[in-house]
Chain A
Amino acid sequence: MERIPVLKMGELLMVTIQVDMHDRLARTLLEDLTEAISAHGIHGVLIDISALDVVDSFIGRTLSTIASTAQVLGAETVVTGMQPAVAITLVELGLSMPGIRTALNAERGMAALRAALGGRSERADGSGSGHDA
Chain B
Amino acid sequence: MAAQSAPTAAAVDTTLSSTVTVEIRTDEDVVRVRQSVRAAAVAIGMRLVEQTKLVTAASELSRNALDYGGGGKAELQVLRHGPRCGVRLIVEDDGPGIVDVGLALTDGYSTGGGMGLGLAGARRLVDEFELWSEVGVGSCVTIVGWAS
Residues on A close to B: CB < 8 A? 20-25, 53-58, 61, 83-86, 88-89, 92-95
Establish whether residues B48 and A95, one from each chain, have CB atoms under 8 Å apart when the complex forms: no
Establish whether residues A93 and B125, one from each chain, have CB atoms under 8 Å apart when the complex forms: yes
Distance in Å: Cβ of A80 to nearest Cβ of chain B:
18
Interchain residue pairs with CB less than 8 A apart (19):
A20-B31, A20-B34, A20-B35, A21-B31, A23-B27, A23-B30, A53-B52, A54-B59, A56-B56, A57-B114, A57-B118, A61-B114, A83-B52, A85-B48, A85-B51, A89-B53, A93-B125, A94-B124, A95-B121
- Which among A56, A85, A88 is the interface contact of B63 at CB below 8 angstroms? A56
Task: Count how many pairs of residues, one from A and one from B, have CB atoms less than 8 Å apart in the complex.
Answer: 73
Chain B, interface size category, equals 20 to 34
Q: Judge whether B117 is part of the interface by a CB distance below 8 angstroms.
A: yes
Instruction: From known contacts A56-B59, A58-B63, infer whether A22 and B28 are also in contact, taking CB-CB under 8 Å.
Output: yes
Q: Judge whether B60 is part of the interface by a CB distance below 8 angstroms.
A: yes
CB neighbours (8 Å) of A84 from chain B are 49
CB neighbours (8 Å) of B56 from chain A are 54-56, 89, 93
